[in-house]
Amino acid sequence: MLTLSGTSTYTGATTVSTGMLGVTGSIAASSLTTVQSGAYLAGTGAVGAAVINAGGSLVAGDGMPGTSMTLSSLTMQSGAFYGVVVDPTSSSFANVTGNASLGGATVFPLFASGSYVSKQYTILTAGSITGAFDPTTTNANLPSGFHTSLSYDDTHAYLDLQLNFVPPPGTGLSGNQQNVADAIVNFFDTTGSIPIVFGGLTPAELTQLSGEAGTGAQQTTFYAMDQFLGLITDPFITGRVAPADGAPDTQASGGLAYAEEGDAAGKHDAFAALSAGPNQPIEQRWRAWAAGYGGSQLTDGNAIVGSNDTRTNLYGFAAGADYHLSPDTVVGFALAGGGTRFSVDGQGSGRSDLFQAGAFFRHNAGATYLTGALAYGWQDFTTDRFVTVSGTDHLRGEFDANAWSGRIEGGYRLAAGGIGFTPYAAAQFTAFDMPSYAEHAISGADTFALTYNARNLTDTRAELGLRLDKSFAMADGDLTLRGRLAWAHDFSPDRSLTATFQTLPGASFVVNGAAMAQDSALVTAAAERKWLNGWSAAASFEGEFSDVTRSYSGKGVLRYAW
């Protein structure tokens, strides 16, 4: 390499036929500088008119971004090379005071490492420009996931750096993946600034970045509130059953009066033991009860949306009391505590402590009943997910959430062949108040940590179904078997959140969790044993099934009347 650092007064032509001529001074007096194939002209000095032949190279500056070479005019032939060095803030460039004829030469950008802060770099300025560079650049050290293009105005040539996501051959991006990709690309296009780690993300990495685990709290809450409402409004718990059509309303409620002792009792079920006399006064107004309940629910993800299978588990313990205002009207309350866990397949998990409180009423009018309840739920959620795009980052979110639920149900009980048939209709709502919250890094970096927007979501459900019961008289009480088959329709099955990358302000996107089916089948099988001393115990199994959901729940209740 030959370096000219002074000011040359030579006025003849200069030819660079091999190697590199570095100009840090001035050869502007030379009538013409020609660079032959295989040779290089570089530096930060001044050059007069220059011609770069095919195979020759002009390297603007001294190999450092932001440096430049000044030329009075520039002519580049097709097949010539124009080299620039780019870092996150600037590029080296040629400053041509006269005309620059670009002639289809190839631009050769060399990229330094770093987080890029500008999407457009000036690589040449001129008094005027004719022609253009070859549109295909030859990049060195281009960050993965980015691509370059060239643009021009009357006096400038620009290198445009753009973020790009290319899915593996033969596959496309799911909805969640596309939402994340769009947010990152839009941020880069808007600000021109992005950490380089956001480039070159694979579809699987985009799924990790979506933070789908944050959506699991919604269905967990709806499931927990549904189980609690079902517990406190169970119309077949002792002392709450309407008598069958045509049967008298007795203290034992609904034809569940205790049977007479002796052999005759074994020949009749509990319906046959109904007293034919007038209504009896209430001797046992109070009934206290305790219960344990729990269950597991699995909801399938959707490959097109990009959601993953989600599993919810819960357990709880409840205690409450009923009070008979009259033979036909019962009111009561209940308190419960427990916990929940949920997991999103491969994307993270969450857990919460759970507190619930509720009040209910029930009124019988002959064979017709009406029951209603209001309930409140509080949970302190913790979510955890792991991102392995660059190392392993353990990201955690913590927040408290509130929920309110209500249910009203009405039915009409008929008896045939000693079996009670109760068609019913019900409406139920759960309102979930989820606050905004931000993740933080437990280990690793917080580069991909998200802030989730608050969401207030109300899920309304309608039910139509049939309840069945059959009682068997026993010497010291009775045994009742019960069942239910129903159809349920949910009006708000989606489970989505809006999230924003904390390191990319404004880069927001919607992440969709596994959605419930709008229509599902409900089944119940239960047994209750009552004793004459006022004690009773019951156990039940409940299932909810649809094309995307399988739910299995159980509860046990112990009651005492006095």
pLDDT along the chain (562 residues), means of 10: 87 94 94 96 96 96 93 97 94 97 97 80 97 96 86 97 64 90 88 78 93 96 95 71 50 35 37 41 76 96 95 96 92 96 96 97 94 97 96 97 97 93 97 97 96 96 96 92 96 94 96 95 95 92 95 93 80
Residue the block writes with tokens 């002796």 = 262
Identify the three-state secondary structure at position 323.
strand
Domains annotated for the chain, with CATH where assigned, are 2-163 (no CATH), 210-561 (2.40.128.130)
- d(C-alpha 44, C-alpha 40), whole Å: 14
- One-letter amino acid at 496 equals S
Contact 249, 366 (CB under 8 A): yes
- d(C-alpha 271, C-alpha 413), whole Å: 13
Contact 212, 177 (CB under 8 A): no
Instruction: Report how far apart the first and last C-alpha atoms of the chain are (Å, whole number).
Output: 106
What strand order describes the sheet that includes 106-111?
Answer: 2-4, 20-23, 40-43, 57-60, 81-86, 106-111
- One-letter amino acid at 354 equals L
Burial of 528 (0-12, 13-18, 19+ CB in 10 A): buried
Residue 252 has what pLDDT? 38
* Token pair of 122 as six digits: 């000036």
- d(C-alpha 464, C-alpha 549), whole Å: 19
| Phi, psi for 228 (deg, rounded to 5) | -70, -45
Contact 256, 249 (CB under 8 A): no
Residue 180 has what pLDDT? 94
- d(C-alpha 193, C-alpha 190), whole Å: 8
Identify the three-state secondary structure at position 223.
helix
- Give the up-direction half-sphere exposure of residue 50: CA atoms within 13 A in the CB hemisphere: 33
Find residue 22's DSSP bridge partners.
Answer: 3, 42
421-425 contact pairs (CB < 8 A, 24+): 421/466, 421/467, 421/468, 422/235, 422/242, 422/466, 422/467, 422/468, 422/469, 423/464, 423/465, 423/466, 423/467, 424/235, 424/463, 424/464, 424/465, 424/466, 424/467, 424/486, 425/462, 425/463, 425/464
In angstroms, what CA-CA distances link 138 with 74, 86, 107, 160, 260? Answer: 21, 13, 6, 13, 98
* Token pair of 61 as six digits: 């500056």
- d(C-alpha 452, C-alpha 434), whole Å: 10
Residue the block writes with tokens 């030469």 = 105
| Pairing mode of beta strands 535-545, 519-531 | antiparallel
Cα of 526 vs its chain's centroid, Å: 36
- d(C-alpha 381, C-alpha 432), whole Å: 13
- d(C-alpha 533, C-alpha 500), whole Å: 61
Residue 147 has what pLDDT? 86
- One-letter amino acid at 409 equals E
- d(C-alpha 334, C-alpha 324), whole Å: 15
Per-residue DSSP letter, 29: T
